[in-house]
Amino acid sequence: MRLILLGPPGAGKGTQAKMLKEKFNIPQISTGDILRKAVSNGTELGEKAEAYMGDGGLVPDEVVVDLIKEKIKEDECARGFILDGFPRTIVQAQKLGETLEAMKLKIDAVIDIEVDPEELIVRLTGRRSCSDCGAMFHDETRPPEQAGVCDHCGHKLFQRTDDNKETILKRLAVYENETAPLKDYYRKQGNLKTLVGRGSVDEIFSQVLALVT
């Protein structure tokens, strides 16, 4: 199964992608996670990406496209994958389409998760992530048992540097300008499936499953 999760920052793409990964035993490919790791490891990729990410803008297409092209050719993606945060521009979508066509593969579904901006701001300003296993928490709606500590693996929780209100507003504007046009792009291809991302994480997951199985 080859899926794309589409939606604004904070819509729940990462949360749902992790659940899909467990359910179907296929990898979650999060360009955001890959880029953040590169930044924290100080790699060449990280150096290219850091300024764009800190500012809430998009990393240049050629950087992420090359990264994804390599990734989807890896053995672990042979049975499928979940793209979380890619593509984010029409150019990225076109390049992905060309790469898959050359591999004689297709995307099965593009799941578009819609959430209103007020809710997104609340979710992102309160988000805390585990520095080790990537589990996600929220200060108010999903607090860990012990403040600042992951319930699953005991490692420290951190707040993303782009999860402050000013950068969130910039990310939302970038989403509207650059990424939202992908909805029409995939609608025309016949594989866009939209759901409203309000409700519990498990309720949303049931809706996602109903759309892909």
As annotated, the active-site residues are 13, 88, 127, 160, 171
Total residues contacting ligand AP5 by CB under 6 A comes to: 35
Which residues inside 1-20 make contact with ligand AP5, applying CB under 6 A? 7, 9-15
- The answer to whether 135 contacts ligand AP5 (rule: CB under 6 A) is no
E strand residue ranges, the chain: 2-6, 28-30, 81-84, 109-114, 127-130, 136-138, 157-158, 192-196
Phi, psi of 163 (to 5 degrees): -95, 45
Q: Choose the stretch contacting ligand AP5; rule: CB under 6 A; options: 40-48, 101-109, 119-127, 180-188.
A: 119-127
* C-beta of residue 151 within 8 angstroms of C-beta of residue 142: no
52 binds ligand AP5 (CB under 6 A): yes
Q: Identify which of residues 127 and 193 has a Cβ nearer to ligand AP5 in the complex.
A: 127
Minimum CB–partner distance for residue 120 and ligand AP5 (Å): 8
Residue type at position 207: Q
**CB proximity list for 135: less than 8 A, separation 6 or greater:** 129, 150, 151, 152, 153
Per CB under 6 A, does 64 bind ligand AP5? Answer: yes
Closest CB to ligand AP5 among residues 19, 26: 19
By CB under 6 A, residue 59 contacts ligand AP5: yes
* Helix or strand run (H / E) with residue 119: helix 117-125
Is the Cα dihedral 113, 28, 176, 92 positive or negative? negative
Contact indicator for 14, 113 with CB cutoff of 8 Å = no
Q: Least CB distance from residue 195 to ligand AP5, whole Å?
A: 11
The Cα-based distances of 183 to 14, 25, 114, 165, 191 in angstroms read 18, 27, 11, 25, 10
Q: Are 79 and 94 in contact (CB under 8 A)?
A: no
Regarding 85 and contact with ligand AP5 (CB under 6 A), the answer is yes
State the nearest-atom distance from the C-beta of 122 to ligand AP5, in Å.
8
According to the binding rule CB under 6 A, does residue 186 interact with ligand AP5?
Answer: no
Binding site for ligand AP5 (CB under 6 A): 7, 9-15, 31-32, 35, 52-53, 56-59, 64, 85-86, 88, 92, 123-124, 127, 136, 138, 141-142, 162, 171, 197, 199, 201, 204
